[in-house]
A and B are shown apart, each in its own frame.
Chain A
């Protein structure tokens, strides 16, 4: 009832109330029937444009031969890309970020898998509190973690550098891996483990020969996602990076001083493209041998795994 009322009200406002009454009625009738059908898709498309439109325009304008981003297209160029790679600050920021993420990812996967196994497969008195403590870095805002780390490192007289960034990224990244791997372990059919134990396998043999082969895709995907979380982290990096600039901090400070903007366009486009590829790799890893047959099951598995 109300729905039709709304639709016709919208239709009326679209056609213009008070226009020629004879001509209006069929149009509004058609609109009233069409609106509920098309409102959803239009809304969804508008939403996706809101999320991705700016990034697409960023990519397009990174090829624009002009120092400002204004509409008259000044011609195609790739010179911002060559300039971006010639920028030594940017190169060292990218290198730092990649080095940090390459250390953070495997360490997070190991720590996250250890804790996920303990929480989902072992019984001990402090299991509940342990699980809560392991999830705590996910709840406390990065700003607070960042400044507490800044104070902490100064108290223990540890100089800020990319090393301290690695330490703090591990703290906030491995709990996410714990969540991913726990989800996978909880879905795993326990009868396989029980069968192995009945056949005389020790608990460590069960892990080695039953659980790990099953976990490989989830672990690989966790590594990729951990890499991207570390690479993208701005707040913590900002506070504990010291004089070592990492990529997000480089973008932030370059924008604050508003110099060299076209190369920010170029490198942002490249980084975003690389991230899309990484996520695609994670998608392939998670859905590989997951037992999901159709595209629908694959996507379900993927979204279930990384939420």
Chain B
């Protein structure tokens, strides 16, 4: 919300922004990142979503309105809260200590995730830089809300800290390039649902860097999957400013842990005759691609058993519907939804063996996932989307007319906005019959893909690593 206020201030209009108690600390980070750290705030005390209407009106009249009047009538302009402190240069040594002292220093400065980090020495950072031809000072992207530049240098520093190997560097750059695309909306990665980005790795680089795509995929334990996932969490913390108390910026109410990176089993794709996920994302099969998307919740393990693909599809639809149904009104509100299905290789084999394509699975899910209209509006309201009405969204063209086909509050409306937005990746234990669904968080973190650019002497560098 403060982004709108800042844009309005820049256009020359005075503003005051209504912020409830729980968001005050986050507002500080956002306002600083927007370059207006003294944005005028009117504080709504408490949590508006649990106040009675009477209590709400009392707070507006007694607390909020006087602050708004003061803010809008005061002749004062800026009151800079503090002068910006000098920031160290990239190669400047900011601390010297033992492994334990470095970790304590970084933890106290809120630069770590609470786990031990590799000390980012100049020598270690230089090892990472050998795996890219890009200049260390090249800005790959800017990370709001704290609005810090993610340069090739910073990416290497963060990779060292996360425990990555130097040869992950081209992939790390691609990940940062993806999440700093404005479409990804990295600035919303600290929103209250507590969503977490998930990185999917496609192409031969997954095997070259020893990613796990088989049994126990998505569990911490394989260095590439684990540290690349952790790397992105550190980027969110140190470049975008998503820290929680005693820091600020991260408002995940009951948030998720970071995800280890997901690698697709492209061999399984070839076996069943399907193109890999990267091709679904618009790239050539065999290209090295990373795709990053938000995940707000994970389904239970979806065990399906039969040699009939329709039975697999039925159970998939049931469990995906149960898992993502409650969150589907958020997708309707923002007209965007990108669930990701991780399909076990044996399940893919049954589907493909009976002539089903990934498009067929997507269409089946689209056709068979429904929610009652009044449940959709009720859930949306409780989530805080109190302005959401299906009828209004249809009138504005944000949802198709079928969402208001009648006035029956119990009419069924589709959970999914279109079949094409469902991602399908083959991974997991080939010896079992399990799949899982990862629900996305609408416009916050839609899938964004980037090609991994390798240095010219990639094979030589790998041979010498």
Chain A bound to chain B: no
Residues of B within 8 A of A (CB): none
